């Protein structure tokens, strides 16, 4: 291979996706590659990505970011899972905690053992066997030790943070490492006649910016990947009908919970994300089932603290770009697709897009195999995450029109097969490249009320008396460990206090 290396990269957009990409490329790509990011502050960013999942730790570690500094600068807090309220029936709640339940024994999955003992009245609630759930129930948190023998090492966490502050933090990081930022509006995109690659972008002030590789982080619109290259979009609204959201920050009241809350409402669901300086709230809804005014009234009537701004409207179409990498443009972030934020996966999909790009980094030969692999992996990841999100809708127990519609809809075969397999004997298998582990599927399936008819017969081969002792020990150990943790708010105040902010200005 004699192709020349990529010498210049242009990132279009300075939202979470743009600055995450800029920071990662500045850190990982060899020196001698010029990286420029163009953004127009006036256009603004979506910036409501405030809840994350545990792999964000890998991204921050790759950048060498200090956790305490990061949490302090982003008003961040800890997240140990998501509490789902009213998805099954009014008053019903369950937790999707991070990490595993209990311990597998002789190759038998813990939840199978639990199911067998539970049927015999010898086991408590499944949450009793999750350290994250025990900590959530007490609003407590402690940093997990490195020693894998310690029960505390079972505490798996992610973060809540202010997305705008995260982008600003990463902007500092990227600029310090040589990324050049250009303020300006892109008004046109020039394609090369020979191969249809993007040659340069034209800014409103008349200047032009050429590059070998373009990363489209321009948000839902997809300035390069769609407007210029007409790549196409696969619409998944028939499985995920929510298409609008209203977001509003409120003053913090009550204890700082180390988890996100997702409460089902008549035409969608409401999020609650506690940060150090405020709480993020929003109503994600289906515009076919409720008007914007009614949605705003529902949201405002169901806030815990004083609103700090007017509700901010957002519109979206759930789905994915048909090819995330087309010619010399790689779409990362909302330009590559969107799955509603129920399981906080968007920032992860940005991170995964960046990781794939680094693993398949092109040269000027623009090999088809790399592009094809990138697109295939992206598609597969989007579809698996989609199935997990659709699961919450398909198995709901509510009675309003939206909820009846999604309960009765046909879902992708990949999902219906999984539900059927679980409903039979509680079996669940993680696909190779799948984001959500078995424990996550178990948490949501059981939480949504899919109780398997039986359990894995291998669980019958184990001695029930020994199992019962083991389950008691796990429950007691986790409860004691959680009791000994500091309150989440005290832990944050001690390890990474964030500076006070003018809340109304910051909103
Ligand atoms: P944007 O934030 O839209 O940024 C686009 C950038 O492109 C901006 O900088 C803009 O200036 C620039 N731009 C656009 N056009 C031009 C132009 N012509 N010239 C120059 N610059 C231009 N994700 C999570 O992980 N967790 C969550 O809890 C979560 N909650 C969400 C809730 C809602 C309601 C929504 C809609 C999304 C949520 N997300 C969440 C997703 C998350 O917000 C996005 O993944 C993230 O913000 C990335 O956005 P982006 O950078 O791709 O696009």
pLDDT in tens, 343-355: 999 999 999 999 9
The lowest-confidence range among 48-57, 66-75, 269-278 is 48-57
* Nearest atom within ligand 1 for CA of residue 316: 36
What's the gap in Å between 12 CA and the centre of ligand 1?
Answer: 12
Does ligand 1 lie within 6 Å of residue 21's CB atom? no
Task: State the average pLDDT over residues 104-118.
Answer: 96
Closest residue (by CA) to atom 53 of ligand 1? Answer: 219
User: Within its chain, how far is the Cα of 412 from the centroid?
Assistant: 21
Does ligand 1 lie within 6 Å of residue 426's CB atom? no
Q: Compute CA distances 3 → 195, 210, 325, 330, 356, whole Å.
A: 16, 19, 19, 19, 20
* Nearest atom within ligand 1 for CA of residue 167: 51
8-50+162-236+318-383 CATH fold: FAD/NAD(P)-binding domain (3.50.50)
Cα 50 to Cα 187: distance, rounded to the nearest angstrom: 30
User: Within its chain, how far is the Cα of 298 from the centroid?
Assistant: 25
Confidence of residue 286 (pLDDT cuts 50, 70, 90): very high
Predicted confidence (pLDDT) per residue in 26-36, tens digit = 999 877 899 99
Task: State the average pLDDT over residues 181-190.
Answer: 98
What backbone phi and psi angles, to 5 degrees, belong to 302?
-120, 35
Structural element, H or E, at residue 174: helix 163-176
What's the gap in Å between 184 CA and the centre of ligand 1?
Answer: 17
Does ligand 1 lie within 6 Å of residue 155's CB atom? no
Cβ proximity of 141 and 78 under 8 Å: yes
Task: State the average pLDDT over residues 303-316.
Answer: 97
* Nearest atom within ligand 1 for CA of residue 20: 51
Provide the β-strand partners of residue 306.
none
Does ligand 1 lie within 6 Å of residue 381's CB atom? no
Query: At which residue do the structure tokens 């934020």 appear?
Result: 341
The helix, strand and coil proportions of the chain, stated in percent and rounded to the nearest 5, come to: 40, 20, 40
Tell me the two tokens of residue 460: 């019958």
Task: Quote the pTM value.
Answer: 0.97
Q: Compute CA distances 188 → 13, 184, 202, whole Å.
A: 14, 12, 5
Cα 52 to Cα 33: distance, rounded to the nearest angstrom: 30
E-strand stretches of 219-343: 233-235, 244-250, 260-265, 268-274, 279-285, 312-315, 319-321, 325-326, 329-331, 337-338
Helix (H, G, I), strand (E, B) or coil at 243: coil
Residue among 61, 50, 275 at smallest CA distance from 167: 50
What's the gap in Å between 76 CA and the centre of ligand 1?
Answer: 19
Mutate to test the pocket of ligand 1, among 10, 23, 38, 40 (most ligand atoms within 8 A of CB): 40
Predicted confidence (pLDDT) per residue in 4-17, tens digit = 899 999 999 999 99
- Residue 182 or 431, more confident: 182
Radius of gyration of the chain (CA): 23
State in Å, rounded, how far the first CA of the chain is from the last one: 52
Mutate to test the pocket of ligand 1, among 43, 44, 77, 320 (most ligand atoms within 8 A of CB): 43
- Residue 194 or 151, more confident: 194
The pLDDT of residue 149 is 84
Q: Compute CA distances 215 → 17, 119, 127, 478, whole Å.
A: 10, 53, 42, 45
Q: Compute CA distances 265 → 241, 242, 483, whole Å.
A: 14, 12, 33
Nearest-10 crossing angle of helices 56-63, 16-28:
50
Q: Residue 79 catalytic? A: yes
Residue among 405, 407, 336, 420 at smallest CA distance from 375: 336
Does ligand 1 lie within 6 Å of residue 242's CB atom? no
The pLDDT of residue 228 is 98
Tell me the two tokens of residue 217: 């982080």
Sorted by where each begins, the domain ranges of the chain are: 8-50+162-236+318-383, 102-157+385-489, 244-315
What's the gap in Å between 369 CA and the centre of ligand 1?
Answer: 29
What's the gap in Å between 217 CA and the centre of ligand 1?
Answer: 8
What backbone phi and psi angles, to 5 degrees, belong to 462?
-90, 150
pLDDT for residue 504 is more than 80: no
Mutate to test the pocket of ligand 1, among 334, 342, 353 (most ligand atoms within 8 A of CB): 334
Predicted confidence (pLDDT) per residue in 234-283, tens digit = 999 999 999 999 999 999 999 999 999 999 999 999 999 999 999 999 99
- Give the strand pairing for 279-285 and 244-250: antiparallel
Task: State the average pLDDT over residues 320-345.
Answer: 97
Does ligand 1 lie within 6 Å of residue 311's CB atom? no
Helix (H, G, I), strand (E, B) or coil at 497: coil
Predicted confidence (pLDDT) per residue in 124-139, tens digit = 999 999 999 999 999 9
């Amino acid at each position: 291979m004699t192709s020349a290396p990529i010498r210049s990269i242009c990132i279009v957009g300075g939202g979470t996706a743009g600055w995450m990409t800029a920071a990662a490329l500045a850190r990982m790509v060899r020196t001698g590659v010029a990286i420029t990011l163009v953004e127009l502050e006036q256009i603004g960013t979506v910036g409501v990505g405030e809840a994350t999942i545990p792999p964000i730790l890998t991204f921050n570690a790759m950048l060498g970011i200090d956790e305490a500094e990061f949490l302090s600068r982003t008003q961040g807090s800890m997240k140990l899972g998501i509490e789902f309220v009213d998805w099954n029936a009014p008053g019903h709640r369950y937790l999707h905690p991070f990490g595993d339940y209990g311990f597998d024994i002789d190759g038998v999955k813990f939840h199978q053992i639990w199911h067998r003992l539970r049927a015999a009245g010898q086991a408590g609630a499944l949450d009793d066997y999750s350290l994250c759930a025990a900590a959530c129930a007490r609003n407590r948190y402690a940093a997990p030790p490195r020693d894998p023998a310690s029960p505390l090492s079972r505490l798996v966490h992610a973060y809540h943070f202010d997305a705008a502050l995260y982008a600003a933090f990463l902007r500092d990081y990227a600029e310090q490492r040589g990324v050049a930022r250009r303020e300006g509006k892109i008004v046109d995109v020039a394609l090369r006649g020979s191969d249809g690659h993007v040659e340069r972008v034209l800014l409103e002030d008349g200047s032009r910016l050429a590059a070998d590789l373009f990363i489209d982080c321009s948000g839902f619109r997809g300035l390069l990947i769609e407007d210029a290259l007409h790549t196409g979009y696969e619409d998944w609204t028939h499985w995920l009908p929510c298409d609008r959201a209203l977001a509003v920050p409120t003053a913090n009241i009550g204890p700082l919970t180390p988890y996100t809350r997702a409460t089902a409402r008549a035409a969608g669901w409401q999020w609650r994300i506690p940060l150090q300086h405020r709480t993020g709230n929003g109503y994600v809804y289906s515009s076919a089932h409720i008007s914007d005014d009614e949605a705003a009234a529902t949201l405002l009537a169901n806030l815990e603290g004083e609103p700090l701004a007017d509700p901010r409207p957002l519109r979206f179409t759930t789905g994915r770009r048909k090819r995330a990498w087309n010619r010399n443009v790689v779409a990362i972030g909302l330009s590559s697709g969107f799955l509603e934020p129920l399981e906080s996966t968007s920032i992860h999909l940005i991170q995964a897009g960046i990781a794939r790009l680094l693993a398949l980094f092109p040269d000027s030969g623009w090999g088809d195999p790399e592009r094809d692999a990138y697109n295939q992996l992206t598609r597969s990841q989007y579809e698996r995450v989609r199935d997990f999100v659709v699961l919450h809708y398909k198995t709901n127990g509510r009675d309003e029109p939206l909820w009846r519609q999604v309960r009765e809809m046909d879902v992708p075969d990949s999902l219906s097969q999984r539900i059927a397999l679980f409903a039979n004997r509680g079996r669940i298998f993680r696909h190779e490249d799948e984001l959500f582990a078995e424990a996550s599927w178990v948490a949501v399936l059981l939480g949504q009320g899919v109780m398997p008819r039986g359990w894995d017969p291998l669980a019958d081969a184990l001695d029930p008396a020994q199992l019962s002792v083991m389950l008691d020990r796990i429950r007691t150990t986790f409860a004691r460990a959680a009791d000994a943790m500091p309150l989440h708010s005290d832990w944050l105040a001690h390890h990474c206090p964030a500076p006070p902010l003018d809340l109304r200005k910051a909103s």
